[in-house]
Amino acid sequence: MKLRARLALTLLATAIPVIAGIAVLRSRLQWAATEQSLADYALERMQNGGREACEQNPEVFPPRPMLRPPDRQPLPGRGAPLPNRPRLNPPGAGGGPPLEAPATPDPRLSGIEVRSELWAYGPDFHSRNREAPTFPTEIRAALEAGASHASVEWFVPTHDGIAVGVRMPWNEGPCAFVLVRRSQVDTPGAQQGLIAGTAVLLVVLLSTAILSAGPVVARIRALTEQVRESADSRYARPADVRGSDEVAELATAFNTAAAEVRGNLEAIESRERSLRSFVENTTHDVMVPLTVLQGHLTAIRRRAEAGESVERQTVLEALQEAHYMASLIHNLSAVARLEQSDVPLERRSVDLAALVERAVARHAPIARARGIALEHAIPPEPTVTLGDVTLIEQAVSNLIHNAVRYVEPDGHVAVVLARVGSRFSLRVLDDGPGITAELRQKVFERAYRSDAARSRHPGGLGLGLSIALDVAQRHGFELELRDPEAGGAEFELRGPLA
């Protein structure tokens, strides 16, 4: 549904109950005014000679037709005010003869009988006039409860009326209570005026809503078109912000969201480019050791089929390639997890001593095959921290793998775990060629490999140390590279104990 139609329906839904309430309130106020006016009229009439006439001859009271209240106390009807002239009773009402009709009758009341009646009743609410109507039960109950006057609706064949019961100050005699009945006339002009006024009010409200909503609708349509154009330009074109109202706030909110979406799109595109490049490089780096491994296995099979002994060096090189491929696959899995920034780390208790033993055992075969002494030391007391055990173990494994891979044959690698107060210290030391000062920060960069590393091992993605640093930072640990006095390299991982 369009905004203008919604506003129009809202106004209609609001105006109709309001107008109905005003009409009900108007009717009640008119009723109250008429009741009070008739009560005042009855009291004045009885105090100015009516009581004496009633007590002298109650069987035929009133002796003549009752007139409506004086001109200074008009009786408002449910429509427009009635003319200020006397009204007459029908023949026989109150026992008196009918009055003549006014010389110039009101044209609004053409064809409508208008009359007022006054009847007297004793303390028991019975009238000595046989033609008097029965005193209304509702009014009687109100007067007996102490009210000075009360009213009920008086039903006549052609229209409605009002009956008002009034308590007289003397409370005794045949005229202790008075009942006044009067026709309530809604003139055609008054009804037409009410309908016309309601129609005019509705038209004014609808016109105001439509006219006031016009500029807002135009601005919203313009903003909608700008949003479409911005989406077509991949949110590079912002929407115009004019003014300081809600439409301007909506445009500002869209520009903020569009900037965030554009940033996410650029990040996704950059990640896709990096992923394509990474997959291409990974495919190459995986195929190289796989091809080498296949060559070694082919040579081993050929010598085995010929009954010749297998060379130890061939088996060692095949084992190294298999070990490297396993480490590469583990690193790729770790990179995939670390790239998912929206996935929180699983922080659980990690037994660092058991972790060190598993990592050392994983690299021990290749170390023995190369003649490298791989040793480790752990404290006797439990050494536990909080973190993701898979990622921490991969980081430690990368540090050990880096030392075993680049240290010379017959070299030494040591893994030392220690407790330092409320923190742990895990060091991986080797007596290899070491790392120069200018390369100590670059070795932690992803895909960076030094010239010496490339000359020794042409394959490799340069992921191991960057993954170790990333895992340390995500856990709040510290990873530091040192140049020990004895030579080689030393990596130390530090963090809080659980």
Domain at 471, CATH number: 3.30.565.10
Do the domain assignments include residue 251? no
Do the domain assignments include residue 57? yes
Do the domain assignments include residue 244? no
Question: Which pLDDT score, from 0 to 100, does residue 109 have?
Answer: 39
Question: Which pLDDT score, from 0 to 100, does residue 390 have?
Answer: 82
Do the domain assignments include residue 105? no
Backbone angles phi, psi at 57, to 5 degrees: -145, 75
**Burial bucket for residue 154 (CB in 10 Å: 0-12, 13-18, 19+):** buried
Write out the DSSP string of 187-247: -HHHHHHHHHHHHHHHHHHHHHHHHHHHHHHHHHHHHHHHHHHHHHTTT-SPPP--SSSHH
Q: How far apart are CA 9 and CA 198, in angstroms?
A: 16
Does pTM top 0.85 for this prediction? Answer: no
Do the domain assignments include residue 255? no
Sole residue written with tokens 């009640």: 28
Question: What is the three-class DSSP state of 351?
Answer: strand
Length of the chain in residues, anyone? 498
Last residue of a domain, one of 140, 175, 192: 192
Q: Rounded to the nearest 10 degrees, how much is the dihedral formed by the CA atoms of 7, 10, 15, 17?
A: 180
Q: Rounded to the nearest 10 degrees, how much is the dihedral formed by the CA atoms of 413, 418, 424, 430?
A: -10
Write out the DSSP string of 98-157: PPPPPSS--GGGTT----EEEEEE-TTS--SSTTSPPPPHHHHHHHHTT-SEEEEEEE-S
Do the domain assignments include residue 475? yes
State the total domains in the chain. 2
Do the domain assignments include residue 286? no
Q: How far apart are CA 418 and CA 383, in angstroms?
A: 8
Instruction: Tell whether the torsion through CA atoms of 217, 218, 219 and 221 is positive or negative.
Output: positive
Q: How far apart are CA 58 and CA 62, in angstroms?
A: 8
Question: Which pLDDT score, from 0 to 100, does residue 391 have?
Answer: 84
Sole residue written with tokens 């996410």: 264
Last residue of a domain, one of 192, 227, 245: 192
Q: Are 160 and 153 in contact (CB under 8 A)?
A: yes
Question: Which pLDDT score, from 0 to 100, does residue 69 have?
Answer: 44
Domain span holding position 37: 3-99+110-192
Q: List the strands of the sheet with 489-496, edge to edge.
A: 373-377, 412-420, 423-430, 489-496, 478-482
pLDDT of the chain along its 498 residues, tens only? 566 677 777 777 777 787 788 878 888 888 899 899 999 999 999 999 999 999 999 999 887 554 444 443 443 443 334 333 333 333 333 333 333 333 334 443 344 445 688 999 999 999 999 999 999 999 999 999 999 999 998 877 766 789 999 999 998 999 999 999 988 655 555 556 667 777 787 788 777 777 777 777 787 888 888 888 888 888 888 888 887 778 788 888 888 998 888 888 888 888 787 777 666 666 755 666 677 778 878 888 888 888 888 887 788 778 877 777 776 676 666 666 666 655 567 788 999 999 999 889 888 888 888 889 999 999 999 999 999 888 898 889 889 988 888 888 889 999 999 999 999 999 999 988 877 766 766 777 754 344 444 343 444 445 778 888 888 988 899 999 887 777 788 999 999 998
Do the domain assignments include residue 206? no
Residue partners of 128: CB distance under 8 A and separation at least 6: 58, 59, 61, 120, 122, 174
**Omega prior to 90 cis, within 30 of 0:** no
Q: Are 39 and 118 in contact (CB under 8 A)?
A: no
What is the CB neighbour count within 10 angstroms for residue 150? 20
What angle separates helix 312-339 from helix 464-475, to the nearest 10 degrees?
A: 40
Last residue of a domain, one of 164, 192, 220: 192
